Amino acid sequence: MSTPLLRSAILPHPLHVGRPNTGDRQRLQERIDALLDRNWLSNDGPLVREFEARVAAIAGTRHCVAMCNATVALEIATRAAGLTGEVIVPAYTFVATAHALQWQQLTPVFCDIDPVTHNIDPEQIARLITPRTSAIIGVHVWGRGCDTDALECIANKHGLILMYDAAHAFGCGHQNQPIGSFGLAEVFSFHATKFVNCAEGGAVVTNNDALADKMRLMRNFGFSGYDRVIYIGTNGKMSEFSAAVGLTSLDSMSDFIAVNYRNYQAYQQALADLPGITVQSYNESERQNYQYLVLDVDPAVCPLTRDQILQVLHAHHVLARRYFFPGVHRMEPYRAYYPNAYLLLPVTEDVVQRVIVMPTGTAVTPEMIAQIGDILRWAMTHSAELSEQLEARLAPGDAFDGFSLR
């Protein structure tokens, strides 16, 4: 008799990666009522200013320039900093890191990563530097700080600007320093999927006064006064509604971190005995937001493939994701521009086949995580029958967009 594809107990509701944390609704309602009473909805309003002050205090920087999202914040930050030609970025990141450059006709040059931290590997950078290189953008993947000392050393030696995409890393620390204060500037995302969110939002933090002034102008069309425009600018402003959501989220920031940390420990415990599956660990002596719960699936040890595990999880309502598959260098337009980029990216190519990001946050409880552990344990013990049945459903090379097995 063949093994049923579903274990009898499935999660009662789908568990998503990136489910927004909602703070105190009452407080949010009060903020929204107040902004409606003021009738000031955007353009450098008081809630945006308060949000900026609180973010700068957490990041340990003199300036925070709030924006409508992190992608536009990256565009404005890189433009204001005067990046030209080629910019070295990791291939293992969300596509926005590269798009923000390409959108401005800058050339992202993809660098390989460290297999353990998933961050840009400083040792691979030197061979990518050309006379056209103007900058390096490190990404603090999963909120884990890049090797900032090594990156700074390379940037100084070659006269390059160093900036960071810190989209994942708000509230995190590195070398006992808050993330936000490294390089010329760092960019946070406050998208709905981030542990502190504005629904849509981003910010650039920096200690550089001139850069901050320039970015403030650029996010507001370049207006320096009522009728005076002194730069080419865009509309990168954060609305008061977004700031109200962000401030309410900030109020509960430490509660969200505590829940994420509790879930991180619960996953470690629930999955500890599963062969070939490791919960990526964080350095607990550094401040972390634990927003990303990342599994590594070792194909040499695990009886199921990474994508088979995803199929089993999805069938049980656990909508885990395989970020950042298949690597930015394999997404358009980069795949067409640099079809051989993968040859220099062996670690990225491996990591994109191994990672699973699991649901966490306030919608997930330790009991649910224990159940996820049971589902995976069951799947491992029935791996032979499951593999056969799963293969019949997903031909090799098929796109896996998340589907149920029922």
Q: Footprint of ligand T4K on this chain (CB under 6 A)? A: 16-20, 69-71, 93-94, 96-97, 139, 165, 167-168, 189, 191-193, 202, 319, 323
The pairing of strands 293-297 and 177-178 is: unpaired
Residue 69 CB: number of other CB atoms within 10 A? 22
Give the C-alpha distances (Å, rounded to integers) separating 161 from 59, 66, 79, 144: 20, 22, 12, 21
Q: Which residue number places its CB atom closest to ligand T4K?
A: 18
Cβ–Cβ under 8 Å, residues 98 and 127:
no
Kindly state the smallest distance separating residue 144's Cβ from ligand T4K, in Å: 12
Kindly state the smallest distance separating residue 141's Cβ from ligand T4K, in Å: 7
Cβ distance to ligand T4K smaller for residue 238 or 319:
319
Tokens of 28: 């949010």
Kindly state the smallest distance separating residue 169's Cβ from ligand T4K, in Å: 9
User: Helix 253-271 crosses helix 240-251 at what angle (to 10 degrees)?
Assistant: 60
Cβ distance to ligand T4K smaller for residue 354 or 382:
354
Tokens of 39: 């009738």
Cβ distance to ligand T4K smaller for residue 20 or 327:
20
Kindly state the smallest distance separating residue 369's Cβ from ligand T4K, in Å: 17
Maximum alpha-carbon separation in the chain: 78
Kindly state the smallest distance separating residue 101's Cβ from ligand T4K, in Å: 12
Cβ–Cβ under 8 Å, residues 168 and 291:
yes
Kindly state the smallest distance separating residue 238's Cβ from ligand T4K, in Å: 11
Cβ distance to ligand T4K smaller for residue 112 or 165:
165
Please choose, from the candidates 78, 90, 101, the residue with its C-alpha nearest in 3D space to the C-alpha of residue 184: 78
Cβ distance to ligand T4K smaller for residue 19 or 27:
19
Count of H helices and E strands in the chain?
13, 14
Cβ distance to ligand T4K smaller for residue 148 or 383:
148
